Amino acid sequence: MLVYNLYKQSRQMRLTTKSEYLLLALIYIARHEKDEYIKIEDICAEYDISKKYLEQLFLILKQARYVKTKRGAHGGYRLSKSAGRISVAEIARLMDGALAPSESVSKYFYAHTPLEKEKKILRVLKEIRDYVSDRLEKLRLSDLV
């Protein structure tokens, strides 16, 4: 029963709208890589995303060096590195933080929690963390194009 409840909790871990929109936008850019720079309006039209909201999210991507920008009539956005070198885990962590079901088992966002007192629970949560993070680390943008 404990394992089932923990599994049920882990299924509640989900990507935020920020991550979802950025993944869609990055997939779109990767899919149209040969078109040079991609206009944000094209991405917004394809996925029905607010332009203002996506521009704010793209500032984060630009600061983290996932995209480059170019101004002007032929400007827009393009990937800074190949789609095969960008994992879904990187984007999820950038926007949402830990992929772990609890901070006490997180590799990148570790923090002490009361669960640390129960080693069996920690073991199960680590298994869940490992499955999710390993799967998303191996999943590249290029796999989704």
Residue ranges per domain, the chain?
2-144
Question: What single DSSP character describes residue 142?
Answer: G
Q: pTM for the whole thing?
A: 0.80
Cα–Cα dist 125/144, whole Å: 28
- Tokens coding 143: 């796999």
The more confidently predicted of residues 128 and 26 is 26
Residue-wise over 31-48: b if at least 16 C-beta within 10 A, else e? ebeeeebbebebbbeeee
Whether 60 contacts 94, CB under 8 Å: yes
Residue-wise pLDDT tens digits, 45-79 = 999 999 999 999 999 999 999 999 999 888 899 99
pLDDT of 11 above 60: no
Overall average pLDDT of the 111-139 stretch: 85
- Under CATH, which number does the domain 2-144 receive? 1.10.10.10
Angle at 144 between CA 128 and CA 103, to 5 degrees: 25
Cα–Cα dist 16/135, whole Å: 18
Bridge partner residues of 108 (DSSP): none
- Tokens coding 41: 């309006």
Q: Is 91 exposed, middle or buried (0-12, 13-18, 19+ CB in 10 A)?
A: buried
pLDDT of 6 above 70: no
Residues of the chain with pLDDT > 70: what percent? 90
Residue 13: per-residue pLDDT: 56
Residue 46: per-residue pLDDT: 96
Confidence of residue 100 (pLDDT cuts 50, 70, 90): confident
The more confidently predicted of residues 9 and 96 is 96
Residue 8: per-residue pLDDT: 44
Which residues, 6 or more positions from 53, have their beta carbon under 8 angstroms from its beta carbon? 21
Residue-wise pLDDT tens digits, 25-42 = 999 999 998 878 999 999
Query: pLDDT averaged over the chain?
Result: 85
Residue 126: per-residue pLDDT: 84
